[in-house]
Amino acid sequence: MRISDYPPQEAFTAIGERYHEEVLSRAGNVPGEDISYGADAYQSLCVYSAAEPNGDVLCFMHGGGWTNGYKEWMAFMAPAITGRGVTFVSLGYRLAPAHVFPKGFDDCCDGIAGVYEHVARFGGDGNRIFVGGHSAGAHYASLLALRADWQSPRNLPTDVIKGALPVSGTYSFGPGSGLSMRPRFLGPEENGADEAASPTTHVHKSAPPFLISYGEEDFPHLVRQAGEFADLLKRASVGVQVMQLAGCDHLGASYATGDVDGVWIKGARDFMSSMQ
């Protein structure tokens, strides 16, 4: 799908525009196959096949502050992932402010159902699905891994997510979160979405393992939240690893996920391989 095929979204900030141009430049023309899971153009995913698939599937969601972004942004990651035998899926979702929580999250749930249904023909195993994302996408990936109320309505096993690999995510909203303003994707304050949308609210001992990553020079509140979230998971006896990406700011942490010889892809491959 071309960027021009999407309905308009909010204008990029300066940092968003820089990221948009950089990741599309890095992606080049990586081949993938689009699959729609809803009527809206944003309700789509793209599957990138491995030449020698090992069955593992990584579904990754883009960032953009819940108001911007395209699944095509994550295409630059595909060669590093598929080169290690993992089927890579970039999963799109509808954006705020037109679509407020939980619509974007519901889209991610429907997207996983689509992956579960179709991924076998790309060499992936529906019983080996991992989720990840950068920034806003890391938030949605964490919710997918922790919440246990979305699988049954979509005829999915409750353990469909084998592990989560969030990068530079937000894990808590509301007082004490460190956010300079309340994200607009949460909708009006009186709806109580802050708690429901916070991954920290949904931590439980049966959750799948996490590999939490962030940039060494990331936004301070995200660095703090990553540590607090990891501690909360550990206290619940959930397996968790934490990776600080040296020299990376918020955008650099995303770019690092596409480095074929980088520490993130090596750590991600080891993490997924360990979930037998």
pLDDT digits (tens, 9 = 90+) for 163-184: 999 999 999 998 888 888 899 9
pLDDT of residue 1: 83
CA distance linking residue 27 with residue 96, whole number of Å: 25
Q: What's the domain range around 58? A: 35-273
Place of tokens 């819940």: 66
Confidence of residue 18 (pLDDT cuts 50, 70, 90): very high
Domain CATH code at residue 199: 3.40.50.1820
Q: Which of 59-73, 172-186, 191-205 has the lowest mean pLDDT?
A: 172-186
- Give me the torsion for CA of 272, 219, 75, 199, rounded to 10°: 50
Kindly indicate the confidence band of residue 276, based on its pLDDT and cuts at 50, 70 and 90: confident
Side-chain half-sphere exposure of 197, counting CA atoms within 13 A? 29
Answer yes or no: is 178 within a domain: yes
Mean pLDDT, rounded, of the chain: 96
pLDDT tens column, 121-170: 999 999 999 999 999 999 999 999 999 999 999 999 999 999 999 999 99
The answer, yes or no, to whether residue 223 has pLDDT greater than 90, is yes
What is the pLDDT averaged over residues 17-25? 96
Three-state SS across the chain?
CCHHHCCCCCCCCHHHHHHHHHHHHHHCCCCCEEEECCCCCCCEEEEECCCCCCCCEEEEECCCCCCCCCHHHHHHHHHHHHCCCCEEEEECCCCCCCCCCCHHHHHHHHHHHHHHHHHHHHCCCCCCEEEEEECHHHHHHHHHHHCCCCCHHHCCCCCCEEEEEEECCCCCCCCCCCCCCCCHHHCCHHHCHHHHHCHHHHCCCCCCCEEEEEECCCCHHHHHHHHHHHHHHHHCCCCEEEEEECCCCHHHHHHHCCCCCCHHHHHHHHHHHCCC
pTM above 0.85, yes or no: yes
Which residue type does 151 have?
A: Q
pLDDT digits (tens, 9 = 90+) for 234-254: 999 999 999 999 999 999 999
pLDDT of residue 29: 86
How far, rounded to the nearest angstrom, does the alpha carbon of residue 220 sit from its chain's CA centroid? 20
Residue showing tokens 């069955």: 55
Confidence of residue 99 (pLDDT cuts 50, 70, 90): very high
User: Mean pLDDT throughout 182-196?
Assistant: 91
The confidence score (pLDDT) of residue 219 equals 96
For residue 73, what are the contacts with CB-CB under 8 A and spacing of at least 6? 19, 20, 23, 24, 27, 62, 64, 90
Please indicate, yes or no, if residue 5 is contained in any of the structural domains: no
| Inside any domain, residue 46 | yes
* Residue 189: band (very low, low, confident or very high) from pLDDT cuts 50, 70, 90: confident
Q: Does any domain span residue 29?
A: no
Supply the pLDDT for residue 178: 87
State how many domains the chain has: 1
pLDDT in tens, 257-266: 999 999 999 9
Asked if residue 185 is part of any domain, the answer here is yes
